[in-house]
A and B are shown apart, each in its own frame.
Chain A
Amino acid sequence: MSSYLIKGARVLGGEPADLLLRDGVVAEVGPGLSAQGAEVVDAEGLVALPGLVDLHTHLREPGREDAETVDTGTQAAALGGFTAVHAMANTDPVADTAGVVEQVWRLGREAGHCDVAPVGAVTVGLAGEQLAELGAMADSAARVRVFSDDGKCVSDAVLMRRALEYVKAFDGVVAQHAQEPRLTEDAQMNEGELSGRLGLRGWPAVAEEAVIARDCLLAAHVGSRLHVCHVSTAGSVEIIRWAKSKGWPVTAEVTPHHLLLTDELATTYDPMYKVNPPLRSAADVEALRAGLADGTIDVVATDHAPHPHEDKDCEWQAAAFGMLGLQTALSVVQATMVDAGLLAWGGVADRMATSPARIGRLAGHGRPLAEGEPANLVLYDPAASRVVEPAEMVSLSRNTPYAGRELPGRVVATFLRGNATVLDGKLQ
Chain B
Amino acid sequence: MRRHLLSAADLTRSDAELILETAEELRSLADRPIKKLPALRGRTIVNLFFEDSTRTRISFEAAAKRLSADVINFSAKGSSLSKGESLKDTALTLEAMGADAVVVRHWASGAPHLLANAGWSRSSVINAGDGTHEHPTQALLDAFTMWRHLGDLDGRRVAIVGDVLHSRVARSNALLLKTLGAEVTLVGPPTLLPYGVEGWDVATSYDLDAVLPKADVVMMLRVQRERMNAAFFPTVREYSRRYGLNGRRMAALQDHTLVMHPGPMNRGMEITADVADSERSVIVEQVTNGVAVRMAVLYLLLGGSEPAHAEDVPGSAGARAGGEQ
Contacts and interface: CB of A to CB of B under 8 A. Distances in A.
Interface of A: 188, 191-202, 204, 268-270, 310, 313-318
Q: Which of B165, B196, B197 has the most CB of A within 10 A?
A: B196
8 contacts: A197-B194, A197-B196, A268-B117, A270-B114, A313-B88, A316-B109, A317-B131, A318-B108
Contact of B109 (A199, A204, A270, A310): A199
Nearest to B111: A315
A192 B87 contact: no
Contacts of B117: 268-269
B110 A200 contact: yes
A195 B196 contact: yes
Contacts of B200: 193, 196-197
Nearest to A185: B230
A315 B133 contact: no
B125 to A, nearest CB: 13
A196 B195 contact: yes
B168 to A, nearest CB: 7
Contacts of A192: 195-196
B196 A316 contact: no
Contacts of B168: 199
A310 B86 contact: yes
Interface string B193-227: 01111111000000000000000000000000000
A314 B196 contact: no
B199 A193 contact: yes
B113 interface: yes
A314 B131 contact: no
B5 to A, nearest CB: 16
Given A314-B87, A315-B87, A269 B110 contact: yes
What 9 pairs between A and B have smallest CB-CB spacing?
A199-B133, A196-B194, A269-B110, A193-B196, A193-B199, A315-B108, A199-B109, A199-B132, A317-B108
Contacts of B196: 191-197
B108 A316 contact: yes
Contacts of A199: 109-110, 130-134, 168, 171
B139 to A, nearest CB: 14
A200 B109 contact: yes
Interface string B169-201: 001000000000000000000000011111110
B105 interface: no
Contacts of A316: 108-110, 114
A248 to B, nearest CB: 32
B261 interface: no
Contacts of B27: none
Contacts of B86: 310, 313-314
Contacts of B132: 199, 201
Given A197-B200, A199-B168, A269 B195 contact: no
A375 B308 CA distance: 78
A202 B195 contact: yes
B66 interface: no
A196 B204 CA distance: 14
Given A268-B113, A314-B114, A315-B110, 18 more contacts: A192-B195, A193-B198, A193-B199, A193-B200, A196-B194, A196-B200, A197-B171, A197-B196, A199-B130, A199-B131, A199-B168, A199-B171, A200-B110, A201-B132, A269-B114, A310-B86, A315-B87, A317-B131
A414 to B, nearest CB: 36
A188 to B, nearest CB: 8
B294 interface: no
B106 A315 contact: yes
Nearest to B114: A269
Contacts of B133: 198-200
A202 B194 CA distance: 9
B113 A269 contact: yes
Contacts of B114: 269-270, 314-316
Pick the most buried of B130, B165, B168, B194: most chain A CB atoms within 10 A of its CB. B194
A188 B86 CA distance: 19
A3 to B, nearest CB: 51
Contacts of A195: 194-196
Nearest to B174: A197
B169 to A, nearest CB: 11
B173 to A, nearest CB: 13
Interface in B116-148: 117-118, 130-134
A200 B196 CA distance: 13
B51 to A, nearest CB: 12
A181 to B, nearest CB: 15
A268 B130 CA distance: 15
B74 to A, nearest CB: 16
Contact of A317 (B109, B113, B118, B134): B109
B325 to A, nearest CB: 21
A119 B301 CA distance: 55
B204 to A, nearest CB: 12
A406 B292 CA distance: 48
Contacts of A310: 86
Nearest to A313: B88
A191 to B, nearest CB: 5
B175 to A, nearest CB: 9
Contacts of A196: 165, 194-197, 200
Nearest to B175: A197
Contacts of B134: 199
Contacts of B106: 315
Nearest to B106: A315
B109 A198 contact: yes
Contacts of A204: 195
A202 B197 CA distance: 13
B224 to A, nearest CB: 16
Among A200, A313, A315, residue most surrounded by chain B Cβ atoms (within 10 Å): A315
Contacts of B197: 193, 196
A257 B235 CA distance: 43
